[in-house]
Structure 1
Amino acid sequence: MATPTEGEPFAEAAGEAVQSAVMSVRLIMAIADAVRRQQQRQKKGTEEELPPAEQAATDAKEELKDLLPADISVALLKGADWPQLAQQMMALKKAGVDLEQLLPRVGEIAVTVRDQVAANEQRIARDGTGQWEKLLRETLPAGPVREAILSSPTWPDIAATMGRLDERGVDVRQILADAHDEGLGVDRAIGKVLAAGEAPPASRDALLSWGPLTTGLDTPANLDLGDRVRALRQLSISLQENERYVRLVKEAMPGREQDANLMVTAKQWPLVAARMAKMESEGKPLADHLAGLMKDTSWEKGPGTFGSRLAHAAAHVLSHPPGEAPAVGRPVVSTAAARSQSSTVGPIKPHAVKGAAPSERGVAPHREAVPAAKSGKTR
């Protein structure tokens, strides 16, 4: 879309469209910067300082050449917040992000926004009360990007920008989905650079939880199960979602609500809730899986606390097709295997650790076979 010349009747609307595109660029860069900060906090315990504004503005201007549409690029450079945006861009580059790969994709998103606004003849009123956190949780999957956005000190500004874009007729859900993909790229790029240095060890909770409770989940290496609210936030679960999962468990255990209460107050409960959230996002029937808790009640007796045993049993039935979960065996945590895998502080990617620590060096823990309880069979 060419920029209209002075005096054209649509000049004002076109100018608004370009400004909306600029806002989308700022939103995506703010999300990318939030991911950068999160990565550095997790792996180094602190954020790297932003480069000097004046030098960053000069360097970033060079980076923008031919990477963004001319009208959007000019509008960015004229914006009052250009020095801050430039600092974010150069901080990302310093952290290991290839701006020549990132900026063209951001430009494509900005062009889409610009054209959406230009085609929208009148603004539409915002629906609802601006529950942007709810929209974010509905749109983005649980993981490092969503956690970085919601835990960022700039989240209120990000939410306000989403509201303004929505008022101008922009599909904010699509913007978030596109920004999420770029955020993952930023997460990986920065993770590679930071992983090259020495990283602090995984938390005790992350080590002790390694095994059936965390198989297939994105669990942060600094997991803090001692703080229930923080643990739920680390696992990208809202308090409202947690309350719903608690209700589902109680409904699956009619007449044994007190037992269910012991499970949901157990230290391991956030991991069970995280598994339920993952399954729900995949469209799996939680109620059918949880029904297995009443079919195999071997969790009533055994080592450990009652709530802990029931939490492991819940993770067990959730990890198998309804009605096909084998008898529950005693979970064994391989702390040695966990330590050998905890080279970074970022969210741990899905692992399939199911059994005890390997008896020989060099054998990956996820290759170990797990004997079915009392069956005498081995793989």
Structure 2
Amino acid sequence: MTLRVTEVFCAFLKLGLTAFGGPVAHIGYFYKDFVERKQWLTEQQFAQLLGICQLLPGPASSQLGFCIGLMSAGWAGGLVAFTAFTLPSVLLLLAFSVLLPVLSSTAGQAALHGLKIVAFAVVADAVISMYQKLCPDRLRASIACLSAVALCAIGSLWGQLCVIAAGAVVGVLYCQTSDFNTKAAPVVRVGYGKTTGTILLVAFLTLLAALSLLQYTGNSWLSLAHSFYSIGALVFGGGHVVLPLLNDALVPTGQLTPEAFMAGYGASQAIPGPMFSFAAYLGALIAPEGSALLGAGVALVFIFLPGFLLLAGILPLWQRIAHVERVNNAMAGINAAVVGVLGAALYDPVFTSAVLGPLDMALGLLAIATLRLWQLPVMLMIAGCVLLSVAAAVLL
């Protein structure tokens, strides 16, 4: 079924304006809209697309949306699906970056701290959900716990890569079960072949190598592009897991203060659309003076690009690896290690910057209960955290 590009754009723009709740919630929105209501995809097609997206680094929900647009209306459909789904969140975060310097009053600082508590609650909720889904047995639970312990002890981007690689090795050697259905026949079809797919994969690797070398030329824009492209190429687990990578790349180097970083991450929880839009906020803040919009654009393009190149390259080649048991076992180990990465990030920098006393802890636990126990709307939790934080700062 080939749809008009405008129809794809309108469908994804509606989701970009209303899809609150993060990557897991987005997948639910996509299923209800495109499988149940619009019937653009069958359940089997949706399941395989989701499986492919979870096997690759990058923002899984945005990659899934790109796939749906690509299968529905070709390359133009994939591009407008991404644009329409991402644009509202980008504009909102850019507005927040402009307002950030004027939020210096007591109430403004308290509001920013409330957003840090929002980030704590959301990441804690994500850790619990991912642990339940991705660590169903003792082996994978152990991988997650040991990964978290290792990262709390050593930290750093290389530490994260090492625990993810170790998770893959343990998965291949010892994981006997996989969450992916290896017996399902591949039903994903795109309008291009293996040659185009190979070209896209070569482009992914060429850009990764070229930017790694060009960052040493001293050009600030190439350095910016390298930072976000390399992070986008290495993030397994989607939006929440990008947090420690971005933090390690930008905060210790002095490009961004911890307060500005966590305030932006908290603000990204208050808006619909993909969490990778957080890159636009960061790019606007660290860009050379007077180049905020260009910085936001470079950061946004280069954090999304590697995941999309990999995905588009893999799609026509998928049939060759869809039934390989070791691939699925390796991903089971990687996913468990990702839970550990996120668990370590929950402690540092999220908990350490958000919870500064008993009152913050109480508010954080209340926010987590709002999400997990009472399942109240996310916006209500965000508004509550900000208002209570401001009230405590003004009254106490």
TM-score by length of 2: 0.26
Question: Which has the higher relative contact order, 1 or 2, with Cα contacts under 8 A spaced 6 or more apart?
Answer: 2
**Structure index of larger Rg:** 1
The structure with more helix, counted as a fraction of residues: 2
